[in-house]
Structures are given as C-alpha cells and as structure tokens.
C-alpha cells in the first residue's frame, strides 16, 4: 500500500517541498525492515526509532512488515528531524489509519518525541513561504513554530501538540484552529530598550561619529584605552538606527529561524539585530558552515549591527573572510553537495586598544609600548579590511568632571530623529537618480562623482589634508561618502568645507603616526 504526504527541507534561507512516499508491503517478516531512501542524513535515518516508539505509545500497533520511505526529489540532501511527523502519518495512512486519503493540500513538518508529542523544528517561516509559492493552503506544524509561520499570508497555519491531535484533525477537521498574527502590529510595537545614549557621560565626539555612522550606514572603528566606553557606546547603536521595514523583518526572521535562534513567542524579528561574537570565534562560526551550511554571525547580523570587540585579537584568517560580505552584502559557502548564499548586509562596529597595553596617547597613564610593538599590533588588521571601514574615531578616557556631571545627555530618541531625516534625504536622492541604494555607504565610484560634487574650497581642503596629514589614497572615497552623510544630517544640498573637515577627523588610522 502506497501513501504520500508533503514535507519540506530548508536549504540556505529558503525551503524546498519534499514528497514523502511511504510503501508498506503486506508480507509480515520476523525482523523489522524499515528503509529510508532519498539522501537522508543521520537524523532522518534515526527517525525510524522515534516513529515506532511514538506510534506504539499513541496506541497504534504496527506489525513488523517491510516499510520503505522515499524522500523525493532523491538528489537533494535531507537533513533534520522535521520529517518525523509526515513519515509517521504516511505509515498510518498506508495501514488505513487515516480516513483522508489525499493529503496534497497539506504541508506537514514536526519532530516526534517518544510519547508522540511534537517538538519545534528550524525554518518554519521559509517552509510557510514555500507552501504559499506552491499554492498549498494548509500547514501543520508544532505549536512552538506557529506564530513564526503565521506571519506569511495566504497559508492557514494549524498548531499541533502531538501525533494524536494531527490524526484527529486530518480525520475529522476538528481539534485545531489556525493561528493569526497582525504583522503590522508586531512591527509597530516598539521594544523597550534597556540602554540609551543619555546614559553615556561625555564622549561627545564619539557620539557624533556614531550618529554619522548610523545616518549613512557606515562601518565604524572605535580606538581608545580600556574603560573609555567603546563597548557602552556601540551597544546603543541599534537605538538610533531606523526601524525595520516589513521586508527587512521578514528576511531577518528567515535567517534566525533557519539558525534556530528565533524567539518562538515573538514570531517576527521586529528590532534590528545586534551580534557581538567573542574573539575566539572560528571563521565558520563567523561566516557560516557545516555539511549543510547554516548562517553564521555575519548573517545573523543582517539588517543590524555586528560588533567585534578587541578587533586585533581576532585571528587574521577570521577577519579576512569578512571582506566578501562587507563588499557584497552576501556570503557564499560552497560544499561538495551544494553551494548556498546567505544575506549579510550589516553595519560593522569594531573596537580596539591603540596599542598592546592600551594607553598610547592617553592623558593619564604612560604607554609602555615601543613603536615597533604598536606597529605590529595595529598591522594585525589588514589594509583591505580597513579599506571597508569608513570611520575611525578616537575614544579617550572620560575625565572625572564628566563622569560626575549632573547634566542630562541627549537621549537616543532625539538622535534617531535626525538619523531618520538624513536617511530619507538619501533615499529621495537615490530614487530620483534611479538607483537602488538605501544609504550613502553603498555608493560606488560613479555615485560618488554624481552626488559628492565639491567646491573649490572643499577641493583645496581635501588636497591639503591628503598631503599634510598623510591620508592614504583609499581614504579619499571614504571621506567623500562620510561628508555627504554629514551634509544630509544638516539638510545641506551641497557638501561644504566644514563637512569635509569633520570627515577628515574620522580617519585616525590613515594618519602618518601609525605608519
């Protein structure tokens, strides 16, 4: 007897629907013959034990006949435990345990526990998107995944607690109601943040640099002694970034769902991610990897901020693999069986000490490092990587008067208003030019020439800075892009000399005393 169900497998951040074909022979055997074909991995092959125990504990007596399960198409690698439920239903259907013979209108995923309960799976959102694309109206999945999948309109998502509930629903149409969520309400609900820029004492220059970075989507590097507030400042960056659009939230949620880090109660990632991996992370942990590649930290930070503290302490090979995502906004991972691409458009925020001891150029403590030691320390960060960081800013130690000051600092909400206004000016300018950019940091050479015209005074100032301060050639385009953002923050149509002067101050590592 042959019975078919439909399930799904996730590859990258997208899902492919899989036909689960179950054939049960009518010949009883003395041994248990349970064969799964179609390139199953270990978790899929082990499902035979979970399925038999779950069926038995739910009151179904499966005789020792020969059971063959084919996962089609057979040339795609099948990974994970989400095939447990559709395989168990296929066996029940083949034995006549289901009154409904045609399950072509259902996509079914779920991991079975030994008592027949359903455990959550990864990638529920991409699976719902795939079901909608194939015009399959109903999705049955574990209760913990329901809100996440219900974000997709056009698919009825039914939460299930155990195998018996699924069988009852398929036989009678009762016992479950579809989950509905209001996606616009999820996005409009501002999550209360425990951090705010008003908590930061002093550091006005660094705060200004943060504002410029967020307004233009620029990568930023903070350089200063220990305890200066570099980490404290960076953790507050998401509070002044623009809110996520629905498309950005959907794409971000897909990545977090596939990686298995999505909050089941949230259903949708409504705030920009902030990821801060430790400097002992491997290149696979940062970029992604595995036999079937999964997203790494750069993809989990998509549409948000990736914070790398103590940047020179990261292995050089780990830092170098970031060059592609910083340039292209994507990560491509090739394996023998497949090649996958993950989105990875994030803002890089990094922090470092100016030297091994941390007190080079500090006003209060003496640096014990020699110039060669400082050079070796800074040179751990390669030129090509620095080339992709637009803003380098000094973060000196905060003095006592600033620490004890009772003056109220500017809150994140006020800074965010200026950032939003600057972003809107950029979007308007790019739309008028027919360009699909959302921030100044994305501009290439052609866009810089078109949108960053300089007056004679600006040209002379930039030339003098390049010559006298020893700024490198690669700093030229960065200065122009940052100047354009500073002008947008002030609402200026043209870049002025004061905008160029401020942008020049944000190129600390290009000055001659680091050479």
Model confidence over 234-273: pLDDT tens digits?
Answer: 999 999 999 988 889 999 999 999 998 888 777 788 889 9
Is 20 a domain residue?
Answer: yes
Task: Take residue 363 and report the two structure tokens written for it.
Answer: 């006003």
pLDDT > 80? residue 220:
yes
Per-residue pLDDT of 439-474, as tens digits, reads: 999 898 889 988 998 999 999 999 998 888 777 777
234 and 168 in a single domain? The answer is no
Which residue, 232, 253, 236, 235, is CA-closest to 244? 253
166 and 221 in a single domain? The answer is no
Is the bond preceding 347 in cis, omega lying within 30 degrees of 0?
A: no
pLDDT of residue 196: 87
pLDDT of residue 127: 96
- 229-238, 286-295, 309-318: range with lowest mean pLDDT: 286-295
Output the domain CATH number for residue 305.
3.40.50.300
Higher model confidence: residue 405 or residue 348?
Answer: 348
Domain stop point among 387, 405, 423: 405
56 and 103 in a single domain? The answer is yes
pLDDT of residue 338: 75
Q: What percent of the chain has pLDDT over 70?
A: 96
Instruction: Give the chain's mean pLDDT.
Output: 89
Q: Note whether 269 and 323 are within 8 A (CB).
A: no
Helices (H) and strands (E) in the chain, counts: 22, 18
276 and 329 in a single domain? The answer is yes
* Number of domains forming the structure of the chain: 2
131 and 280 in a single domain? The answer is no
Q: What is the DSSP string of 355-418?
A: SSSS-TT-SSS-----HHHHHHHHTTS-HHHHTT--EEEE-PPPPHHHHT--PPPPPHHHHHHH
281 and 211 in a single domain? The answer is yes
> In 3-state terms, what secondary structure has residue 499?
helix
Is 7 a domain residue?
Answer: yes
What band does 192 get if pLDDT is binned at 50, 70 and 90?
low
pLDDT > 80? residue 512:
no
Q: Write out 410-422 in H/E/C secondary structure.
A: CCHHHHHHHHHHH
pLDDT of residue 513: 44
Domain stop point among 372, 405, 438: 405
77 and 123 in a single domain? The answer is yes
pLDDT of residue 515: 43
What band does 141 get if pLDDT is binned at 50, 70 and 90?
very high
Is 501 a domain residue?
Answer: no
Is 483 a domain residue?
Answer: no
pLDDT > 70? residue 300:
yes
Is 480 a domain residue?
Answer: no
Higher model confidence: residue 386 or residue 169?
Answer: 169
**Using CA atoms, how far apart are residues 469 and 508, in angstroms rounded to an integer?**
10
What band does 191 get if pLDDT is binned at 50, 70 and 90?
low
Instruction: For the chain, give the longest Cα–Cα distance.
Output: 92
Is 419 a domain residue?
Answer: no
pLDDT of residue 29: 59
33 and 161 in a single domain? The answer is yes
pLDDT of residue 63: 79
373 and 278 in a single domain? The answer is yes
Which residue, 104, 92, 100, 97, is CA-closest to 7? 104
CB atoms within 10 A of CB 280: 10
Q: What CA–CA distances, in Å, run from 60 to 24, 63, 68, 300? A: 15, 10, 18, 42
- 211-225, 274-288, 460-474: range with lowest mean pLDDT: 460-474
19 and 79 in a single domain? The answer is yes
Domain stop point among 122, 153, 172: 172
Contacts 24+ apart (CB under 8 A), 421-428: 421/489, 421/491, 422/215, 422/216, 422/485, 422/488, 422/489, 423/215, 423/242, 425/488, 425/491, 426/216, 426/485, 426/488
- Structural domain boundaries, residue 67: 2-172
Per-residue pLDDT of 400-440, as tens digits, reads: 888 888 888 889 999 999 999 999 999 999 999 888 888 99
Q: What percent of the chain has pLDDT over 90?
A: 55
Is 460 a domain residue?
Answer: no
pLDDT of residue 43: 85
83 CB burial (10 A radius; 0-12, 13-18, 19+): buried
CB atoms within 10 A of CB 17: 16
117 and 247 in a single domain? The answer is no
What band does 514 get if pLDDT is binned at 50, 70 and 90?
very low
Q: Torsions phi, psi of 59, nearest 5? A: 95, 10
157 and 241 in a single domain? The answer is no
Q: Note whether 119 and 43 are within 8 A (CB).
A: no
Is 515 a domain residue?
Answer: no
């Amino acid at each position: 007897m042959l019975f078919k169900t439909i399930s799904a497998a996730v590859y990258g951040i997208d899902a492919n629907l899989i036909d689960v074909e179950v054939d049960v022979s009518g010949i009883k055997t003395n041994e248990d013959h349970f064969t799964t074909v179609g390139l199953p991995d270990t978790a899929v092959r082990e499902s035979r034990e979970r399925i038999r125990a779950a069926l038995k504990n739910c009151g179904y007596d499966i005789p020792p006949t020969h059971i063959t399960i084919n996962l089609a198409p057979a040339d795609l690698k099948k990974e994970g435990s989400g095939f447990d439920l559709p395989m168990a239903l296929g066996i029940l259907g083949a034995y006549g345990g289901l009154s409904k013979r045609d399950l072509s209108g259902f996509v079914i995923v779920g991991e079975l526990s030994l008592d027949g309960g359903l455990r959550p799976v990864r990638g529920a959102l991409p699976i719902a998107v795939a079901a909608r694309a194939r015009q399959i109206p109903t999705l049955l999945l574990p209760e913990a995944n329901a809100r996440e999948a219900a974000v997709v309109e056009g698919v009825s998502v039914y939460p299930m607690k155990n195998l018996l509930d699924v069988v009852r629903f398929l036989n009678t149409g009762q016992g479950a109601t579809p989950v509905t969520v209001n996606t616009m309400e999820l996005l409009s609900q501002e999550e209360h943040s425990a951090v705010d820029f008003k908590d930061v004492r002093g550091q006005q220059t660094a705060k200004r640099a943060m504002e410029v970075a967020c307004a233009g989507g620029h990568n930023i590097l903070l350089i200063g002694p220990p305890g200066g507030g570099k980490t404290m400042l960076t953790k507050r960056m998401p509070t002044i970034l623009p809110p996520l659009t629905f498309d950005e939230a959907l794409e971000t949620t897909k990545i977090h769902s596939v990686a298995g880090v999505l909050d089941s109660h949230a259903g949708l990632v409504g705030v920009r991610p902030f990821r801060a991996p430790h400097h002992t992370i491997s290149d696979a942990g940062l970029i992604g990897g595995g036999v079937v590649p999964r997203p790494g930290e750069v993809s989990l930070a998509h549409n948000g901020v990736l914070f790398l503290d103590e940047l020179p302490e990261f292995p050089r090979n780990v830092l170098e693999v970031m060059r592609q995502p910083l340039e292209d906004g994507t990560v491509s991972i090739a394996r023998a069986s497949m090649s996958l691409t993950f989105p990875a458009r994030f803002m890089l925020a990094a922090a470092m000490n100016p030297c091994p001891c941390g007190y080079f150029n500090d006003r209060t403590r003496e640096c014990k490092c020699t110039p060669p030691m400082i050079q070796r320390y800074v040179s751990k960060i390669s030129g090509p990587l620095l080339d992709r960081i637009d803003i380098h800013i000094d973060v000196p130690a905060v003095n006592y008067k600033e620490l004890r000051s009772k003056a109220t600092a500017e809150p994140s909400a006020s800074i965010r208003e200026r950032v939003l206004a600057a972003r809107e000016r950029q979007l308007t300018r790019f739309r008028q030019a027919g360009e699909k950019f959302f921030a100044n940091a994305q501009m290439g050479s052609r866009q810089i020439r078109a949108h960053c015209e300089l007056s004679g005074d600006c040209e002379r100032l930039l030339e003098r800075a390049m010559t006298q301060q020893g700024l490198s050639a690669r700093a030229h385009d960065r200065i122009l892009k940052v100047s354009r953002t500073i002008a947008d923050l002030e609402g200026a149509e043209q870049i002025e000399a004061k905008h160029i002067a401020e942008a020049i101050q944000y190129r600390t590592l290009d000055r001659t005393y680091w050479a």
